[in-house]
A and B are shown apart, each in its own frame.
Chain A
Amino acid sequence: MHVSTSTDWRVADDRIGILFIAPFVVAALVFMVYPVAESVRLAFYQHNPLNPDAAAFVGLDNFRAIFADPLFWQSFRQATIWTGCSILLQTVIGVALALLLHLPLRGISVFRGLLLFPYIVPTVVIALVLQWMLNPDIGVVNWSLRGAGLIDESIYWLASPNMAMLSTIMLNVWKYTPFVTICVLARLQTIPLELYDAAKVDGAGAVRRFLDITLPQLAEVLVVVVIFRTIWTFNKFEEIYLLTKGGPGTSTFNLAIYSFEQSVASLKMGVGAATGVVMMFLLFAGSLVYMRVFRFASEDA
């Protein structure tokens, strides 16, 4: 008779453990490691997709080319501006919205749903709708602003470099502020109410309570969210491309669009891949900061 001893369990167990992790390992190798590795490899090659048989190893030439290209640096600058403005707006508006949604009102959950809704709207949809709304001649935005007397003549939202940058920032803020709101709201819901009660007893006003109690409690979450969103926003492709294609001219180019154009329009996949490598490098640098701060923050708590 076979007696189930604990050792029996462990032997069968280990096999199950390996069996369960195996699909992930395979998938990770095929769908995550391989593309990244191949992308890094391509960065050192000259590869024209219409003539793949003529691909050749070129060492660091692609990197030299992009670092010498003024458009690359322009894209980098613009990505930084775009990211900075977006994050600032997302954080301020996100916190404000979270405070609003934290109020003990009846039916607040309905509002929560509606205000967090932009996050799941496809970027294509909001880009198309914005193009329609911002149409200089028949778009509702210009007509409303003119009707309210705020402007005299139509604003050309997508036709000048500054306005195009602003429009793409608006799209980004609209779509991703909910992410900030969700995280901040989750944190707000864990702040013990006694802290506020004690402060009220001490005579602290609403603003004082916010600055002294809420904000410090949120600090940890905000830092994490900001770093996370910065890493994420810097490399966004669709939010800009679908609205302006990087234009007018190249005034809303960022590194992702630069990489895309190199691969598709200029038929230089090697250069596109090299840009991708630079983007990944920046990303790793950013995530190191994230890990450092995160460990720091969690040690504090």
Chain B
Amino acid sequence: MNQLGFVRQTVAYVVLLAVTFLICFPLIWAFSTSIKAPKEVMATPPRLLPAEATSANYRNLITGKEQYFRADQAYVPTTAAPQHFVSWFTNSLIVSGASTLISIVISTLAAYSVTRFRYWGRRIVPYFSLLGYMIPSIVLVFPMFLVMAQLSLVNSLWSLTFGYVSITLPFCMWLLWAFFRGIPIELEEAAMIDGASRLRVFVDIVLPSAAPGIIAAAIFSLIVSWNDFLFARVFINSIENLPLTVGVMHFFEGTHVDWGLMMAAAVLMTVPMAILFMLMQRHLVAGFGAGAVKG
């Protein structure tokens, strides 16, 4: 019997709850700060639940609080950053989506090719990809920057897209290769003997079977692109072209930091990733399990 005794179960739940609370605390605290008014944010001792919750920080971010300067006012204390938040969010979406799409398409085709055909060099591909996955981005950033500079792509979302392809493609390739390897060939062969074309077989039979792997790779790719800082820092110059990761650091400019606003931005930045993760948790675990352990 694998059921634990009642006492053991209770203890287990208590431990689980405590551990979960501790690990999730940073995000809990960020949310708590983001719904407080500025005076409460700076109040000591800090309290978890605000006396008066307010959505002002979120509203300011989403509506893009007005340009902070007005010539006829003696002093205006807010920073300029909030007005760009929506642009940053959009940029992150666009760039993550585009680079993921590119990486997935390339990897899916390549994985199928490498596992179904014979030609010289096909065995190297997965290990080459794994090696590529381990190259730290600091090595890639500056050479790519110099190329982008020559192509006049610096400060455009395209440069980021290409940068992200370079860090997502290797692992997608590795993951999908592992997946495609596990899909039996018999179904395809049978279909082809029956007269179906290779492309038809690919679309109708193989892709559906590979769907979990493709989804896992897509999720991985989206997460990596959304979270990157280094490429965006070096490639993008003007404040409205930044993605969220670098944009949010702009809240430190000026002479004071609005922590409530910054925590609201942090929360909003994490929400898409959290949603993605919650929905696809099963696929992610399966993908990692396959890629890292079985390989």
A residues with CB within 8 A of B: 4, 9, 12-14, 16-21, 23-24, 27-28, 31-32, 34-36, 38-39, 42, 49, 52, 97, 100, 103-105, 109, 111-118, 120-126, 128-130, 132-133, 137-140, 143, 147, 174, 179, 182-183, 185-187, 193, 221, 224-225, 228, 231-232, 235-238, 242, 256, 259-260, 263-264, 269, 272-273, 276, 279-280, 283-284, 287, 294
Contact = CB atoms under 8 A, between A and B. Distances in A.
B112 A115 contact: no
Nearest to A125: B266
A117 B142 contact: no
B75 interface: no
Given A21-B113, A31-B165, A39-B142, A193 B131 contact: no
Given A18-B119, A31-B165, A39-B140, A24 B106 contact: yes
A105 B9 CA distance: 7
A103 B244 CA distance: 38
B119 A121 contact: no
B262 A128 contact: yes
Nearest to A273: B142
B170 A237 contact: no
B187 interface: no
A132 B263 contact: yes
B110 interface: yes
A280 B173 CA distance: 20
Given A100-B19, A116-B281, 4 more contacts: A32-B169, A140-B46, A183-B292, A186-B293
Contact of B23 (A104, A174, A263): A174
A132 B143 CA distance: 35
Nearest to B21: A114
**Closest 7 CB pairs between A and B?**
A17-B117, A24-B110, A20-B113, A186-B289, A38-B143, A235-B136, A31-B166
A9 B289 CA distance: 36
Contacts of A183: 288-289, 292-293
Nearest to A193: B2
A210 to B, nearest CB: 15
Given A21-B110, A113-B277, A133-B26, A100 B139 contact: no
Contact of A23 (B109, B119, B234): B109
Nearest to B290: A186
B242 to A, nearest CB: 12
27 contacts: A17-B117, A17-B119, A21-B113, A27-B106, A31-B165, A32-B132, A32-B170, A35-B139, A35-B144, A38-B146, A111-B20, A112-B285, A114-B20, A120-B276, A121-B273, A122-B244, A123-B229, A123-B245, A129-B26, A129-B29, A133-B26, A139-B46, A143-B44, A221-B293, A235-B136, A256-B136, A283-B135
Contacts of A125: 30, 248, 266, 269-270
Contact of B24 (A12, A39, A117, A179): A117
A224 B138 CA distance: 24
Nearest to B136: A235
Contact of B109 (A24, A130, A139, A287): A24
B266 A128 contact: yes
Main SS at interface, chain B: helix
Interface string B184-211: 0000000010010111000000000000
A49 B9 CA distance: 62
Nearest to B42: A138
A8 B107 CA distance: 27
A258 B33 CA distance: 34
Given A129-B29, A182-B289, A273-B142, A20 B169 contact: no
A125 B29 CA distance: 12
B189 to A, nearest CB: 10
Contacts of B35: none
Contacts of B138: 235, 237, 256, 259-260, 276, 279
Contact of A182 (B105, B162, B285): B285
B24 A13 contact: no
Interface in B13-29: 13, 15-16, 19-20, 23-24, 26-27, 29
Contacts of A9: 192, 198
Nearest to B116: A17
B274 interface: yes
A280 B223 CA distance: 24
B119 A32 contact: no
B210 to A, nearest CB: 13
Given A21-B110, A23-B105, A129-B266, A228 B119 contact: no
A118 B25 CA distance: 11
A215 to B, nearest CB: 16
Interface string B219-242: 000010011011000100000000
B143 A124 contact: no
Contacts of B197: 12
A136 to B, nearest CB: 12
Nearest to A286: B134
Contacts of B68: none
